[in-house]
Amino acid sequence: MNRRTFLKTSGLGCAALALNKIPAFAADLADQKKRVGLIGTGWYGKVDLLRLIQIAPIEVVSLCDVDKRLLAEAAEIVAERQLSKKKPRTYGDYREMLKEKDLDLVLIATPDHWHALPMIAAAQSGADIYVQKPIGVDVVECQAMVAAARKHGRVVQVGTQRRSTPHLFEAQELIKEGRLGRIGLVETYCYGRRGISNPPDQPPPENLDYEMWTGPAPMRPFNSGVHPRSWRNYMEYGNGTIGDMGIHMVDMVRWMLNLGAPQRISSTGGNYFHKEGKPNIPDMQTATFDYGDLQVTWEHRHFGAQPDPKYWWGANFYGEKATLKASVFGFDFVPLDGGTAIHREWNDANAKYPVDSDKYPEDKAEKGIEYHVAPAIREHMKDLLQCTASRGRARADINEGSISTSMCVLANLSLQLKRSFAWDETKGRVVGDEEANQLLARPYRSPWRHPTPETV
């Protein structure tokens, strides 16, 4: 398979042929003077938005957040970084922002429990969308988001930027070229450590609208471990480590191997070593996604030694000819016959697809940035912009995000019900298990109403 055929058939998205060939404000992005809004101005909201500002002459006209302090800080940063130097309008309610119907592109980087409703509303308003992963907290949310994108003809890119990570394009090519041979097992994993956290309950700070922050999720007493960022430790707002870290690796494997949804899902685990703390997500979990002649597994553990400190978060592909270990930081290809091994760092000077970090020295001083991820986010944004022009499907289209998110949600349901089950992706149902099907949609707190594919 030659390079041109590979790029056409491997699902790389609208910007595949231009990977790392597009300088900032290149001719094919120069007309992307889109009016942009951001919902969720905390950590990754700013990281995503500032990468977009770097690669196209967009105008950020609206920002929304329920935290006035984060909102004001973001407005100052955007005014400093965007070309016009104008300060965006600010909102505390995404509905008021979208009511203007003057945005071409909306970025959503809220906590997970607040992804579905703003994304659907943005699609209804006529905007194209970049929504952070996982796209929802339950399966029906995911299905409704796909339905909204299709019904309203919107381009949606999901923030699973492993699909736009330069060194992983090279790793994927090794698979496409047959260098691993037949692959029978892929292990995905995360071995990040976590301590016991017991922050005291307290009144929410005056800058935070905690009622709106909680939204459709169950109302919990506020503590400093909930906002900002640490909400990931609570199942009320997400799907634990598999829904936070696992989706990146599961989605990466699906992309690299061109996989759809698994046939069967099983999971075990629990919160065994940190139960004295307030966080309630599993501190260890194992899941198996059965594809028939291929098994994809997930494992996380927040205690004990890391099997390979270099690959504490990643995926191991086991083929009949070679093993491939891949992560956000690099990859290692090791042939079993003693052939030439390949090692790549994320910023390897010898890489087939070099990163663009040297073009953006401002990255080094940016607060909160994951410097090694910034090139991938820029590539992801370029793909999104090119797809908004062509009206093609983005590299991490909403349906791909739905499959990967749902896999993580279903693994948690398997853990909760203590049994495995078969999954029918076409029907969007668990086969022969009505108890499991009743759990595909979480209850919403009043007055918020759970979306369905029929109501968007």
16 vs 129, 379, 434, 444, CA distance in Å? Answer: 20, 9, 42, 39
Q: Residue 28's pLDDT is what?
A: 64
Exposure string over 335-362, b if 16+ CB within 10 A, otherwise e: beeeeeebebebbbeebebebbbeebee
Instruction: Collapse the DSSP code of 368 into the 3-class scheme (helix H, G, I; strand E, B; otherwise coil) and give the result.
Output: coil
Angle value at C-alpha 153, between 22 and 381, nearest 5 degrees: 20
Mean pLDDT, the chain, whole residue set? 93
Q: Are 226 and 220 in contact (CB under 8 A)?
A: yes
Q: Residue 71's pLDDT is what?
A: 98
Domains 3-163+381-397 and 170-359+403-438 share a fold: no
Break the chain into its structural domains and give their ranges.
3-163+381-397, 170-359+403-438
382 vs 15, 24, 28, 59, CA distance in Å? Answer: 7, 10, 10, 16
Give dist(CA 448, CA 446) in Å, integer. 5
Instruction: Provide the residue type at 107 as one letter.
Output: L
Enter the CATH code of domain 170-359+403-438.
3.30.360.10
| Residue whose entry in the numeric block shows the structure tokens 């290149």 | 26
Contacts of 338 (CB under 8 A, 6+ apart): none
Q: Residue 13's pLDDT is what?
A: 56
Overall size of the chain counted in residues: 456
Give every strand in the sheet of 89-91, ordered side by side.
89-91, 59-64, 35-39, 105-108, 128-131, 156-158
| CATH class name, domain 3-163+381-397 | alpha beta
Main-chain phi, psi angles of 156, to 5 degrees: -130, 125
**Residue ranges in the chain whose pLDDT is less than 50:** 1-11, 15, 17-18, 20-25, 27
Q: In DSSP terms, which residues pair with 337 in a beta bridge?
A: none
| Residue whose entry in the numeric block shows the structure tokens 């009511």 | 99
pTM of the full structure: 0.94
Give dist(CA 266, CA 53) in Å, integer. 42
